[in-house]
Amino acid sequence: MSRTPMKLILTQEVTGLGAPGDVVEVAGGYGRNYLVPRGLAMRWTRGAEKQIDLIKRARSARDIRSLDDARQAAGRLSELTVRLHTRAGGTGRLFGSVGPADIADAVRAAGGPDLDKRRIEVRNPIKTIGAHQVTVRLHPEVSATLDIEIVGA
């Protein structure tokens, strides 16, 4: 079995690896079996190298423009009270779990900024009623902690 590294261009942000447009070297199996099939990366070739500029331009259009904008968004998130109503049993366990897409919708409904669900990091699955914290990566240098209250419906 060969353990040769594989050179890839990321097409989406991968936590701990890089942002769209970054050229990374990963283990062959990780690239071949996980990153490429899920559309998170594409194989590096000289032709694909030319697409990096397109990917980076698209990323900059979607990204929060500057460090100051990210800090302002982090301030708005810290002041925000996010309540998420979901079905739960009598013991306080949820029917299912709350994921990043649910959190992004709840932030938008509470009057917060429009967040990309891929930037919301949920360390452990949220499966109980109560207060929880998640991290939102707004910029490579700015992360915000968001307090969420899960309420049974």
| pTM (predicted TM-score) | 0.61
Q: Which structure tokens are listed for 91?
A: 């013991």
Same domain? For 58 and 73 the reply is no
* pLDDT confidence of residue 62: 55
Confidence band for 36, pLDDT divided at 50, 70 and 90: very high
Same domain? For 56 and 79 the reply is no
**CATH number of the domain residue 92 falls in:** 3.10.430.100
d(CA 54, CA 2) in angstroms, rounded, equals: 33
- What 3-state class would DSSP assign to 35? helix
Residue pair 17/26 in contact by the 8 Å Cβ criterion: yes
Same domain? For 56 and 19 the reply is yes
Same domain? For 72 and 117 the reply is yes
Same domain? For 104 and 40 the reply is no
Same domain? For 94 and 135 the reply is yes
Same domain? For 42 and 91 the reply is no
For residue 63, CA distances in Å to 36, 58, 97, 98, 120 come to: 23, 9, 28, 25, 14
The domain in which residue 139 lies consists of 67-152
Which tens digits make up the pLDDT trace of 54-95?
777 666 655 555 677 788 888 888 888 889 988 888 888 888
Same domain? For 51 and 82 the reply is no
